[in-house]
Amino acid sequence: GLATALNSAVTGQRAAINAALAALTRYESNYDGAINRSDHYGDLGSFVVELHSRAGGNQALVTALNNVQSALDNKIIAAAFHSGAPHTNPDQQWAWPNATGLSIYLPGTGDPKRSLYTGSNLRWVQRSGWDQFLHTMGLVVAADTTGGELPTCASTTACDGLPRQLPMEAGNVEIYLPVILR
């Protein structure tokens, strides 16, 4: 998959990968009103386009990028994005060039949750190899393999200090999300 190809290509393609990470379309996720590298989610399709144009002769990486692009083309039927200024931050311009609507986790140093994004805490992360790629690129801290799974509580009460689901409260909030129609 893509994570495996990226992990194998990092040594020879680090500059290309960093350039693609800097250029990809990101989604506002840290609530500062600006879309920039401080946001922790980027568009997978945009990352593929940006990296494909920089990947050079690394055939395994190009093949993985082509496979991801093909999967996106076959699975995402329609995507629509509205660029402009959000009413909460009229001085900011939001734009999504090359966006497909499928985001990937690309944390910045300001994301306090990045230390939890490890194979020891999230089984699907361990199977994908994405955490290894993020660690190699310096986007997440080293995995803590001694802690095992994070304890959680499925209830909203009586969890005795464990992390638990929070009750939802309706408020005057507008959320802008990409929508994927199938």
Residue scoring higher pLDDT (2 or 97): 2
Task: From 66, 63, 51, select the one nearest 17 (Cα to Cα).
Answer: 51
17 token code pair: 């990968």
Maximum separation of any 2 CA atoms in the chain, in Å: 56
Q: Helix, strand, or coil here: 18?
A: helix
Compute the distance between CA of residue 158 and CA of residue 128 in angstroms, rounded to an integer.
34
> Residue 146's pLDDT is what?
46
List C-alpha distances in Å: 35 to 7, 25, 42, 106, 109: 27, 9, 10, 13, 15
The confidence score (pLDDT) of residue 182 equals: 55
pLDDT at 67 over 90: yes
Q: Residue 104: count other Cβ atoms within 10 Å of its Cβ.
A: 17
Query: 42 has which bridge partners?
Result: 26, 104
Rounded to 5 degrees, φ, ψ at 94 are: -105, 135
Kindly give the residue spans of alpha helices, DSSP state H, lying in 91-129. Answer: 123-128
Q: How confident is the model at residue 86 (pLDDT cuts 50, 70, 90)?
A: confident
pLDDT at 98: 77
pLDDT band, very low/low/confident/very high, at 70 (cuts 50, 70, 90): very high
8 in Cβ contact with 67 (< 8 Å): no
Question: What percentage of the chain reaches a pLDDT higher than 70?
Answer: 75
Q: What is the pLDDT of residues 103-141, one digit of tens each?
A: 888 886 677 777 777 777 777 777 888 888 888 888 876
**CA atoms of 42 and 165, how far apart (whole Å):** 26
